[in-house]
Amino acid sequence: MVRSNVNGEWREADVWPGSSLLSLLRDHLGLAGSKNACEQGECGSCSVWLDGELVCACLVLAAQAHERDVRTIESLGIGDGLDPVQEAFVEAGAVQCGFCTPGLVVAVSHLLSENPAPSDDLVREALSGNLCRCTGYQKILDAVRLAGARIRGDQL
Ligand code: FES
Ligand code: FES
């Protein structure tokens, strides 16, 4: 039995402790927002927070999340609406097939919570573990700049 606080709520699942946190979330807790694209830590589509640290959920054992705090893409948004990062991705055209988007939004939210005014180099470095096959990354950079400006309250 694994018990974790997921998005502010204690959840339990009878899962083999050697399965991944990603499997716990998707297959046992019904949280399908974190995507499974490579299952080997290469693509970042499964990015979540574990005790506030950004991790690839496919590389973390379900047992490692026992009695710990997990936050997923489902925790983001404001009421029924989008939060500034999600909104910026849509507005900048950074969402195409969308498979990479949850992981990128989590990674960008993490970055901007630590540094709301990152340089482009820092953004590229911070997102180097998140692969996107569709956008060519330029629109993702645009989305990060837009989200950062909104979070800082800059006049646009
Ligand atoms: S599915 Fe976890 S890094 Fe690709
Ligand atoms: S939008 Fe398709 S992989 Fe990124």
Q: Which ligand is nearest to the CA of 134?
A: 2
Mean pLDDT of 98-121: 97
User: Is residue 43 in contact with ligand 1, taking CB distance under 6 Å?
Assistant: yes
Q: Which ligand is nearest to the CA of 20?
A: 1
In this prediction, residue 79 carries a pLDDT of: 86
User: Closest Cα to atom 4, ligand 2: which residue?
Assistant: 132
First to last CA, the chain: 50
pLDDT in tens, 10-67: 999 999 978 999 999 999 999 999 999 999 999 999 999 999 999 999 999 999 999 9
CA angle, corner 129, sides to 124 and 130, nearest 5?
A: 85
Which ligand 2 atom is at minimum distance from the Cα of 134?
A: 2
Band (pLDDT 50/70/90 cuts) for residue 156 is confident
In this prediction, residue 91 carries a pLDDT of: 97
User: Is residue 133 in contact with ligand 2, taking CB distance under 6 Å?
Assistant: yes
- CA 17/CA 65 separation, integer angstroms: 9
pLDDT in tens, 63-83: 999 999 999 999 999 888 999
User: Is residue 96 in contact with ligand 2, taking CB distance under 6 Å?
Assistant: yes
pLDDT in tens, 115-131: 999 999 999 999 999 99
